[in-house]
Structure 1
Amino acid sequence: MNVQAHCPATYPTISAKGHRYHVNLAGLQAVCDANYLRLMKVAPTGAAGTSSRIHIEFQGHEASATLKIVEQTRYTTLLTLSLTTPLHSWLSLPELTVRLYHDVKMAEVIGASGHRYLNARYEYPNAHMHQPDEKYQLNTLLAEWLDHCMVTGYTPDSVNI
Protein backbone atom coordinates (compact mmCIF):
# COMPACT_ATOMS: atom_id res chain seq x y z
CA MET A 1 0.00 0.00 0.00
CA ASN A 2 1.53 3.29 -1.07
CA VAL A 3 0.87 5.77 1.73
CA GLN A 4 0.90 8.83 -0.51
CA ALA A 5 -1.41 7.26 -3.08
CA HIS A 6 -3.98 6.28 -0.48
CA CYS A 7 -3.70 9.22 1.92
CA PRO A 8 -3.44 12.48 -0.05
CA ALA A 9 -3.70 14.40 3.23
CA THR A 10 -0.22 13.14 4.11
CA TYR A 11 1.52 15.32 1.54
CA PRO A 12 3.65 17.91 3.32
CA THR A 13 2.79 21.51 2.75
CA ILE A 14 5.82 23.36 1.49
CA SER A 15 5.02 27.02 1.15
CA ALA A 16 6.12 29.31 -1.65
CA LYS A 17 9.65 30.72 -1.54
CA GLY A 18 10.17 33.05 1.37
CA HIS A 19 7.64 31.33 3.62
CA ARG A 20 8.42 28.82 6.34
CA TYR A 21 7.59 25.18 5.92
CA HIS A 22 4.80 24.10 8.26
CA VAL A 23 4.85 20.52 9.48
CA ASN A 24 1.81 18.49 8.53
CA LEU A 25 1.66 16.70 11.89
CA ALA A 26 -1.42 14.64 11.04
CA GLY A 27 0.23 13.47 7.81
CA LEU A 28 3.49 12.56 9.56
CA GLN A 29 1.59 10.65 12.25
CA ALA A 30 -0.40 8.75 9.60
CA VAL A 31 2.83 7.63 7.90
CA CYS A 32 4.32 6.62 11.27
CA ASP A 33 1.16 4.67 12.20
CA ALA A 34 1.23 2.77 8.90
CA ASN A 35 4.99 2.11 9.22
CA TYR A 36 4.43 0.54 12.64
CA LEU A 37 1.96 -1.94 11.14
CA ARG A 38 4.34 -2.74 8.27
CA LEU A 39 7.29 -3.23 10.60
CA MET A 40 5.31 -5.57 12.85
CA LYS A 41 5.15 -7.94 9.85
CA VAL A 42 8.89 -7.98 9.11
CA ALA A 43 10.76 -6.84 12.23
CA PRO A 44 12.56 -9.37 14.38
CA THR A 45 11.31 -10.15 17.86
CA GLY A 46 13.52 -10.68 20.84
CA ALA A 47 16.29 -8.95 22.74
CA ALA A 48 18.87 -6.45 21.55
CA GLY A 49 21.13 -8.02 18.93
CA THR A 50 18.35 -10.01 17.27
CA SER A 51 18.10 -9.38 13.55
CA SER A 52 16.18 -10.49 10.50
CA ARG A 53 17.03 -10.36 6.84
CA ILE A 54 14.74 -9.30 4.04
CA HIS A 55 15.55 -10.48 0.54
CA ILE A 56 14.02 -8.50 -2.32
CA GLU A 57 14.09 -8.55 -6.09
CA PHE A 58 13.61 -5.69 -8.51
CA GLN A 59 13.88 -5.99 -12.29
CA GLY A 60 16.06 -9.07 -12.11
CA HIS A 61 18.37 -7.69 -9.41
CA GLU A 62 18.49 -9.13 -5.92
CA ALA A 63 19.27 -7.33 -2.68
CA SER A 64 19.09 -8.02 1.00
CA ALA A 65 18.60 -5.82 4.01
CA THR A 66 18.98 -6.34 7.71
CA LEU A 67 16.63 -5.17 10.44
CA LYS A 68 18.45 -5.29 13.75
CA ILE A 69 17.16 -4.59 17.24
CA VAL A 70 19.57 -2.16 18.87
CA GLU A 71 17.60 -1.54 22.05
CA GLN A 72 14.49 -3.14 23.54
CA THR A 73 12.54 -1.55 26.39
CA ARG A 74 9.06 -2.07 27.77
CA TYR A 75 7.41 0.52 25.54
CA THR A 76 9.88 1.05 22.68
CA THR A 77 12.18 -0.79 20.31
CA LEU A 78 15.08 0.82 18.48
CA LEU A 79 15.84 -0.77 15.09
CA THR A 80 18.37 -0.16 12.37
CA LEU A 81 17.55 -0.92 8.76
CA SER A 82 20.47 -1.26 6.39
CA LEU A 83 21.08 -2.76 2.98
CA THR A 84 23.64 -5.52 3.18
CA THR A 85 23.53 -6.09 -0.57
CA PRO A 86 22.31 -3.14 -2.68
CA LEU A 87 20.17 -3.56 -5.80
CA HIS A 88 22.61 -1.45 -7.83
CA SER A 89 25.94 0.17 -7.03
CA TRP A 90 24.36 3.56 -7.74
CA LEU A 91 21.20 2.92 -5.70
CA SER A 92 21.75 2.78 -1.99
CA LEU A 93 19.40 3.10 0.93
CA PRO A 94 20.64 5.16 3.86
CA GLU A 95 20.94 3.24 7.10
CA LEU A 96 17.75 4.18 8.89
CA THR A 97 17.35 4.26 12.66
CA VAL A 98 13.72 3.67 13.58
CA ARG A 99 12.07 3.88 17.00
CA LEU A 100 8.91 1.82 17.48
CA TYR A 101 6.55 3.17 20.15
CA HIS A 102 4.46 0.16 21.17
CA ASP A 103 2.04 2.02 23.43
CA VAL A 104 0.83 4.33 20.61
CA LYS A 105 1.67 1.90 17.77
CA MET A 106 3.89 4.29 15.82
CA ALA A 107 7.28 3.86 14.12
CA GLU A 108 9.35 6.97 13.50
CA VAL A 109 12.61 7.36 11.60
CA ILE A 110 14.84 9.16 14.09
CA GLY A 111 18.10 9.02 12.16
CA ALA A 112 19.63 8.28 8.78
CA SER A 113 23.21 7.41 7.86
CA GLY A 114 24.65 8.54 11.16
CA HIS A 115 22.55 11.70 11.56
CA ARG A 116 20.56 11.19 14.75
CA TYR A 117 17.63 13.12 16.13
CA LEU A 118 16.12 14.60 13.01
CA ASN A 119 14.11 17.77 13.40
CA ALA A 120 10.56 17.92 12.08
CA ARG A 121 11.47 21.09 10.17
CA TYR A 122 14.69 22.61 8.89
CA GLU A 123 15.43 26.09 7.70
CA TYR A 124 16.80 25.92 4.19
CA PRO A 125 19.61 26.13 3.28
CA ASN A 126 21.34 24.60 6.28
CA ALA A 127 24.78 23.19 7.05
CA HIS A 128 23.79 19.54 6.39
CA MET A 129 21.60 20.44 3.40
CA HIS A 130 18.55 18.76 4.92
CA GLN A 131 15.32 19.48 3.11
CA PRO A 132 12.70 21.49 5.05
CA ASP A 133 10.60 18.30 5.34
CA GLU A 134 13.51 15.83 5.76
CA LYS A 135 11.85 13.84 8.56
CA TYR A 136 8.65 13.42 6.54
CA GLN A 137 10.62 12.34 3.47
CA LEU A 138 12.59 9.72 5.40
CA ASN A 139 9.43 8.28 6.98
CA THR A 140 7.84 8.14 3.53
CA LEU A 141 10.96 6.43 2.16
CA LEU A 142 10.63 3.81 4.90
CA ALA A 143 6.95 3.34 3.99
CA GLU A 144 7.70 2.87 0.30
CA TRP A 145 10.62 0.56 1.01
CA LEU A 146 8.57 -1.62 3.35
CA ASP A 147 5.72 -1.72 0.81
CA HIS A 148 8.18 -2.96 -1.81
CA CYS A 149 9.54 -5.58 0.58
CA MET A 150 6.06 -6.84 1.36
CA VAL A 151 5.23 -7.19 -2.34
CA THR A 152 8.48 -8.61 -3.72
CA GLY A 153 10.48 -9.77 -0.73
CA TYR A 154 10.59 -12.53 1.78
CA THR A 155 12.04 -12.84 5.25
CA PRO A 156 13.81 -15.98 6.37
CA ASP A 157 13.53 -16.84 10.05
CA SER A 158 15.06 -14.37 12.51
CA VAL A 159 18.57 -15.09 13.64
CA ASN A 160 20.31 -14.04 16.83
CA ILE A 161 23.75 -12.48 16.28
Structure 2
Amino acid sequence: MPKLKRNHWLASAQPRSFTGLMGLYESNFRRFERLAPELELPFESATSQGEDAVLHLRVIERCRYTTTVNLTYWFGEGAAAHPDPDLTLRVYRDAELAEAIYCDARSRYAALAGVPNIDEDVLSEQWPRNLLLNKWLAYCLAQGHGFGGANRPRRQPADVSG
Protein backbone atom coordinates (compact mmCIF):
# COMPACT_ATOMS: atom_id res chain seq x y z
CA MET A 1 0.00 0.00 0.00
CA PRO A 2 1.58 3.33 -1.03
CA LYS A 3 2.27 5.79 1.74
CA LEU A 4 0.79 9.24 1.15
CA LYS A 5 2.67 12.39 2.02
CA ARG A 6 1.11 14.46 4.74
CA ASN A 7 0.17 17.96 3.63
CA HIS A 8 1.99 20.03 6.27
CA TRP A 9 0.73 23.35 4.91
CA LEU A 10 -2.84 22.15 5.21
CA ALA A 11 -2.21 20.83 8.71
CA SER A 12 -1.09 24.31 9.83
CA ALA A 13 -3.94 26.16 8.07
CA GLN A 14 -6.50 27.80 10.33
CA PRO A 15 -9.66 25.65 10.20
CA ARG A 16 -12.74 27.39 8.86
CA SER A 17 -10.73 30.35 7.55
CA PHE A 18 -10.94 31.43 3.92
CA THR A 19 -7.21 30.74 3.46
CA GLY A 20 -7.54 27.33 5.06
CA LEU A 21 -10.52 26.46 2.87
CA MET A 22 -8.67 27.47 -0.31
CA GLY A 23 -5.70 25.34 0.83
CA LEU A 24 -8.08 22.44 1.34
CA TYR A 25 -9.51 22.94 -2.18
CA GLU A 26 -5.98 22.94 -3.59
CA SER A 27 -5.09 19.76 -1.71
CA ASN A 28 -8.33 18.17 -2.97
CA PHE A 29 -7.34 19.08 -6.53
CA ARG A 30 -3.87 17.55 -6.16
CA ARG A 31 -5.32 14.31 -4.81
CA PHE A 32 -8.07 14.17 -7.44
CA GLU A 33 -5.43 14.84 -10.12
CA ARG A 34 -3.54 11.76 -8.90
CA LEU A 35 -6.76 9.73 -8.94
CA ALA A 36 -7.80 10.95 -12.43
CA PRO A 37 -4.64 12.19 -14.19
CA GLU A 38 -6.51 13.08 -17.37
CA LEU A 39 -8.41 16.05 -15.98
CA GLU A 40 -10.25 16.56 -19.24
CA LEU A 41 -12.05 13.30 -18.36
CA PRO A 42 -12.83 12.13 -21.90
CA PHE A 43 -15.37 9.59 -20.63
CA GLU A 44 -18.87 9.84 -19.14
CA SER A 45 -18.25 7.32 -16.38
CA ALA A 46 -15.59 4.91 -15.23
CA THR A 47 -14.90 2.45 -12.45
CA SER A 48 -11.78 1.55 -10.52
CA GLN A 49 -11.28 -1.71 -8.64
CA GLY A 50 -9.16 -1.08 -5.57
CA GLU A 51 -8.28 -3.27 -2.63
CA ASP A 52 -11.55 -2.39 -0.90
CA ALA A 53 -14.41 -1.96 -3.41
CA VAL A 54 -15.28 -0.61 -6.85
CA LEU A 55 -15.08 3.18 -7.00
CA HIS A 56 -17.46 4.86 -9.46
CA LEU A 57 -16.78 8.18 -11.17
CA ARG A 58 -19.48 9.84 -13.29
CA VAL A 59 -19.17 13.13 -15.17
CA ILE A 60 -22.23 15.29 -14.47
CA GLU A 61 -21.34 18.51 -16.26
CA ARG A 62 -18.53 19.82 -18.45
CA CYS A 63 -17.83 23.51 -18.86
CA ARG A 64 -14.90 25.39 -20.32
CA TYR A 65 -12.89 25.58 -17.09
CA THR A 66 -14.78 23.25 -14.74
CA THR A 67 -16.00 19.69 -14.58
CA THR A 68 -18.56 18.44 -12.07
CA VAL A 69 -18.29 14.76 -11.14
CA ASN A 70 -19.89 12.29 -8.77
CA LEU A 71 -17.59 9.95 -6.86
CA THR A 72 -19.00 7.04 -4.86
CA TYR A 73 -18.97 3.40 -3.89
CA TRP A 74 -22.15 1.38 -4.53
CA PHE A 75 -23.21 -1.13 -1.88
CA GLY A 76 -25.90 -3.78 -2.26
CA GLU A 77 -27.47 -5.13 -5.41
CA GLY A 78 -30.49 -4.34 -7.56
CA ALA A 79 -33.12 -2.12 -5.99
CA ALA A 80 -31.30 -2.25 -2.65
CA ALA A 81 -28.11 -0.74 -4.11
CA HIS A 82 -27.15 2.62 -2.61
CA PRO A 83 -24.18 4.98 -3.01
CA ASP A 84 -22.01 5.64 0.05
CA PRO A 85 -20.27 7.97 0.48
CA ASP A 86 -21.97 9.91 -2.29
CA LEU A 87 -19.95 13.04 -3.06
CA THR A 88 -20.32 15.50 -5.91
CA LEU A 89 -17.31 17.66 -6.60
CA ARG A 90 -16.51 20.50 -8.94
CA VAL A 91 -13.00 20.53 -10.39
CA TYR A 92 -11.73 23.97 -11.39
CA ARG A 93 -9.01 23.06 -13.89
CA ASP A 94 -7.88 26.65 -14.50
CA ALA A 95 -7.52 27.52 -10.81
CA GLU A 96 -6.38 23.98 -9.86
CA LEU A 97 -8.98 23.63 -7.10
CA ALA A 98 -11.51 20.89 -6.31
CA GLU A 99 -14.53 21.56 -4.11
CA ALA A 100 -17.03 19.11 -2.63
CA ILE A 101 -20.40 20.69 -3.44
CA TYR A 102 -22.74 17.93 -2.27
CA CYS A 103 -22.72 15.05 0.17
CA ASP A 104 -25.72 12.75 0.50
CA ALA A 105 -27.07 13.14 4.04
CA ARG A 106 -28.41 9.56 4.01
CA SER A 107 -24.93 8.16 4.50
CA ARG A 108 -24.53 5.20 6.80
CA TYR A 109 -21.44 6.91 8.21
CA ALA A 110 -22.29 9.15 11.16
CA ALA A 111 -19.59 11.64 10.19
CA LEU A 112 -21.28 12.19 6.81
CA ALA A 113 -24.90 12.29 7.92
CA GLY A 114 -26.21 15.80 8.10
CA VAL A 115 -23.28 17.48 6.34
CA PRO A 116 -25.14 20.47 4.87
CA ASN A 117 -25.36 21.33 1.19
CA ILE A 118 -23.55 24.21 -0.45
CA ASP A 119 -26.47 26.65 -0.12
CA GLU A 120 -25.74 27.27 3.56
CA ASP A 121 -22.97 29.35 5.17
CA VAL A 122 -20.16 28.54 2.78
CA LEU A 123 -17.12 29.10 4.97
CA SER A 124 -18.25 27.13 8.01
CA GLU A 125 -20.22 24.48 6.13
CA GLN A 126 -17.76 23.76 3.32
CA TRP A 127 -14.96 22.91 5.74
CA PRO A 128 -16.27 19.51 6.99
CA ARG A 129 -17.45 18.41 3.53
CA ASN A 130 -14.14 19.24 1.90
CA LEU A 131 -12.08 17.80 4.73
CA LEU A 132 -14.07 14.59 4.22
CA LEU A 133 -13.34 14.72 0.48
CA ASN A 134 -9.64 15.26 1.16
CA LYS A 135 -9.41 12.28 3.50
CA TRP A 136 -11.51 10.07 1.23
CA LEU A 137 -9.37 10.89 -1.81
CA ALA A 138 -6.28 9.95 0.23
CA TYR A 139 -7.99 6.70 1.23
CA CYS A 140 -8.95 5.91 -2.38
CA LEU A 141 -5.37 6.48 -3.52
CA ALA A 142 -4.04 4.29 -0.69
CA GLN A 143 -6.45 1.53 -1.81
CA GLY A 144 -4.95 1.63 -5.30
CA HIS A 145 -7.81 3.37 -7.11
CA GLY A 146 -7.12 5.32 -10.29
CA PHE A 147 -8.88 6.52 -13.42
CA GLY A 148 -5.88 6.75 -15.73
CA GLY A 149 -6.10 5.91 -19.44
CA ALA A 150 -5.88 2.17 -18.83
CA ASN A 151 -8.86 2.22 -16.47
CA ARG A 152 -11.38 4.06 -18.61
CA PRO A 153 -13.70 2.45 -21.15
CA ARG A 154 -12.74 2.97 -24.78
CA ARG A 155 -15.10 3.89 -27.57
CA GLN A 156 -15.33 1.41 -30.39
CA PRO A 157 -13.61 2.72 -33.53
CA ALA A 158 -15.90 3.77 -36.35
CA ASP A 159 -16.40 1.16 -39.05
CA VAL A 160 -14.16 2.27 -41.92
CA SER A 161 -14.93 -0.66 -44.21
CA GLY A 162 -16.81 0.38 -47.21
| Aligned equivalent of 1:94 | 85
The alignment status of 1:158 with 2:152, answered yes or no, reads: yes
The answer to whether the 8 A contact 2:56-2:73 is kept is yes
**Secondary structure in structure 2 of the residue aligned to 1:95:** strand
Cα pair distance change 1:136/1:118, threshold 3 Å: farther
Q: Provide the rounded CA distance (Å) in 2 between the counterparts of 1:28 and 1:52.
A: 29
Q: Hey, which bits of structure 1, 4+ residues long, moved more than 3 A?
A: 118-122
Cα pair distance change 1:109/1:154, threshold 3 Å: closer
**Secondary structure in structure 1 of the residue aligned to 2:136:** helix
How many pairs does the alignment contain? 129
Trace 1:47-66 onto structure 2 (pairs within 5 A). 50-57=44-51, 62-66=52-56
Aligned equivalent of 1:26, options 19, 29, 33 = 19
Q: Provide the rounded CA distance (Å) in 2 between the counterparts of 1:64 and 1:6.
A: 31
Q: Where does the alignment leave 5 or more consecutive residues of structure 2 unmatched?
A: 77-82, 106-115, 156-162
Q: Deviations over 1:73-118 (max 9, x none)?
A: 11100000111248xxxxx843111011111110001111176534
Report the residue type matching 1:46 in the other structure.
P
Cα pair distance change 1:148/1:54, threshold 3 Å: same
Aligned equivalent of 2:10, options 7, 10, 20 = 7
Using the size of structure 2 for normalisation, the TM-score is: 0.66
The answer to whether the 8 A contact 1:97-1:112 is kept is yes
| Aligned equivalent of 1:139 | 130
Q: Provide the rounded CA distance (Å) in 1 between the counterparts of 2:117 and 2:14.
A: 24
| Aligned equivalent of 1:38 | 31
State the Cα distance separating 1:6 from its structure 2 match.
5.2
- RMSD of aligned residue pairs (Cα, Å): 2.8
Report the residue type matching 2:71 in the other structure.
L
Matched-pair identity in %: 26
The answer to whether the 8 A contact 1:2-1:147 is kept is no
The answer to whether the 8 A contact 1:64-1:85 is kept is no
Cα pair distance change 1:94/1:148, threshold 3 Å: closer
Using the size of structure 1 for normalisation, the TM-score is: 0.66
